[in-house]
Amino acid sequence: MAQDYDSPRNKDEDEESLQELGKSSQNENTDIDDDENAIAEDYELPGADLSNEDSSVTVIPMQGDEFICSQCFLVKHRSQLAYTDESGQPICKECAA
């Protein structure tokens, strides 16, 4: 539908559309959790005392078909090995690119 931007505007239509926008933005704002304490509980500050916390992550040792890239220090599968440098350190394909 074509819109004639040069035609005079009807103020009633503008006010109605503004009210509709206001109602929809109010409805969207109620869905957001604004409780700052609940949000802050999920974050740990650097240097926090975690001595009484147990780790919930299972650490799997490096497998025989994996290597640690000497550039990015990530554990990669042997299929990701690009080459070894002159000192014998492995380089992955992503770092070699």
16 or 73, which is more confident: 73
Residue 31: pLDDT over 60: no
Q: Which residues of 20-56 are buried (b: 16+ CB within 10 A; e: fewer)?
A: eeeeeeeeeeeeeeeeeeeeeeeeeeeeeeeeeeeee
Q: Determine the straight-line distance between the first and last CA of the chain, rounded to whole angstroms.
A: 51
**Strand, helix or coil for residue 96:** helix
CATH of domain 61-97: 3.30.60
Residue 33: pLDDT over 70: no
Question: If pLDDT is split at 50, 70 and 90, which confidence band does 30 have?
Answer: low
Domain map of the chain by residue range? Answer: 61-97
Cα dihedral 6, 8, 14, 16 sign: negative
- Whether the model clears a pTM of 0.85, i.e. scores above it, the answer is no
Token digits of residue 64: 């025989």
**Rounded CA separation 35/30 (Å):** 12
Per-residue pLDDT at 59 = 85
Question: If pLDDT is split at 50, 70 and 90, which confidence band does 20 have?
Answer: confident
- pLDDT tens, residue by residue, 63-97: 999 999 999 999 999 999 999 999 999 999 999 98
Per-residue pLDDT at 62 = 92
76 sits in which H/E element: strand 75-77
